[in-house]
Structure 1
Amino acid sequence: MILYLVRHGEAQLNVLGILHSRNYNDNPLTDKGRLEAAAVALLLHRMGVHGPVFTSPLLRARQTADCIDRNYKVDERLREIDMGEWELKKISEIPFDNYRKDPVRYHPPGGESMESVVNRVMDFLNFVRGINEKSVIAVSHWHPIATVVALVTGLPLSNIYKLRISTGSITAIDLDNDDVLFLNLSPLRVLRSLGLSDDGIMKECIR
């Protein structure tokens, strides 16, 4: 089974460098984010990837999932790490460098620990392994996706910020063999390189 981990498209607060993890109906996709979501959907469809779609409950993730399959299912285990006292603060206003260097030791004050993220991500992986499908698509956020990659590859959890996982990217994992097939693939860049126009890509989300 292949698990396709999709990071949501760019959202309004991403542009401003503001952390957001709680209000599930705030922080929609930007125009660029909608294009990234459409590109994810189009590339997955052209690759012949079919299977159930699960998504974080946050709006930016649900909007991305809706481009892929309007029959998506919300799964709380895919939500972003709870930012605690850092919620709705700019990255430049908090001691984010310490967190980036070792998110195991310096988790957000009053927020979620790495252990908590690992537990719910592992629970989701075990759930997916029990599904009789060739492919499963999960729309999530930087931290949960990076945690999955670390768990599969053996990368120390304290080093997950060495991973680059851009908005609108796809990371594919073979759960049968615990192999990372590709990491941080940009569908928008791929489709543009094949000569598709942005307007043509956007049609994937206007059905």
Structure 2
Amino acid sequence: MRLYLVRHPRPDVAAGHCYGRSDLAANVDDVERVLAALAGQGLPGAMPVYASPLARSAVLAHRLSPAPAFDARLAEMDFGAWEMRSWDDIPRDEIDAWSADLLHYRPGGGESVLQVAARVAGFYADIRRAGHAQALAVCHAGTMRLLHSLHLGGTLAEAALRAAQAPHRIGYGEAMLLEI
């Protein structure tokens, strides 16, 4: 199976803000840029399209497919009370506590990386069983890093930690292919 992962277009939010689970609209111009880039790669073609239900992913999914399947397991991490705050306004001791325990610490009282990995792993297992020759998922950088890490193997905790430690280098609208 070929699973294409596509990061959502750039959201309408000020730079430097924490916005995991926050439901932000995508920048209209960036949606058009991403659609053109994906079309240039021949995506999505004739394949099922799955997506995070958050607006910044949903708008692209609706443009790629007349009937995308929305799956909450593809949503970005919930940062709880940190959501929509400037990273500079989040107390340093809280960020340090998260850095000291990447797997279990729940930033802002939201989700831990291990909790997010568990729900993303459920999607990964289901998509593998679905029997598609290929599929496309519009989601978030964190979700993409987790799916890639799960694909590499190991325990759930190993995959979650590997994803959490991976540099954040996935651009808005960037596509990644997993050969499953």
Q: TM-score if structure 2 supplies the norm length? A: 0.82
Using the TM superposition, give the Cα deviation of residue 149 of structure 1 relative to its aligned residue in structure 2, in angstroms.
1.6
Using the TM superposition, give the Cα deviation of residue 145 of structure 1 relative to its aligned residue in structure 2, in angstroms.
0.9
Unaligned runs of 5+ in 2: 154-158
Identity of aligned residues (%): 27
Summarize deviations over 1:87-144 as a string: whole Å, max 9, x none. Answer: 1111222248645686325441301011111111111011101112111111111111
Q: TM-score if structure 1 supplies the norm length? A: 0.72
Q: Does 1:89 align with 2:85?
A: yes
Q: Which moved more, 1:90-99 or 1:4-13?
A: 90-99
- Matched letter for residue 6 of structure 1: V
Aligned residues: 171
Instruction: Give the structure 1 partner of residue 32 of structure 2.
Output: 35
Q: Which moved more, 1:127-136 or 1:148-157?
A: 148-157
CA RMSD of aligned residues (A): 2.5
Stretches of 4+ aligned residues off by more than 6 angstroms: none
Instruction: Give the structure 2 partner of residue 121 of structure 1.
Output: 120
- Matched letter for residue 4 of structure 1: Y
Instruction: Give the structure 1 partner of residue 68 of structure 2.
Output: 72
Q: Does 1:170 align with 2:175?
A: yes
CA distance in 1, matches of 2:109, 2:43: 42
Contact 2:12 2:26 in 1 (8 A): yes
Using the TM superposition, give the Cα deviation of residue 173 of structure 1 relative to its aligned residue in structure 2, in angstroms.
0.3
When residues 7 and 158 of structure 1 are mapped into structure 2, their CA distance, relative to the original with a 3 A threshold, is closer
What SS does the corresponding residue of 2:47 show, helix, strand or coil? coil
CA distance in 2, matches of 1:172, 1:101: 31
Contact 1:6 1:170 in 2 (8 A): yes
- Matched letter for residue 123 of structure 2: F
When residues 147 and 102 of structure 1 are mapped into structure 2, their CA distance, relative to the original with a 3 A threshold, is farther
CA distance in 1, matches of 2:63, 2:37: 8
When residues 113 and 170 of structure 1 are mapped into structure 2, their CA distance, relative to the original with a 3 A threshold, is same
When residues 70 and 106 of structure 1 are mapped into structure 2, their CA distance, relative to the original with a 3 A threshold, is same
Summarize deviations over 1:45-95 as a string: whole Å, max 9, x none. Answer: x26743111111100000111221131111010011011110111122224
CA distance in 2, matches of 1:86, 1:171: 28
Contact 2:80 2:111 in 1 (8 A): yes
Unaligned runs of 5+ in 1: 176-207
1:85-164 equivalent positions in 2, closer than 5 A: 85-94=81-90, 95=92, 98=96, 99=98, 103-104=102-103, 106-153=105-152, 156-157=161-162, 159-164=164-169
CA distance in 2, matches of 1:69, 1:158: 29
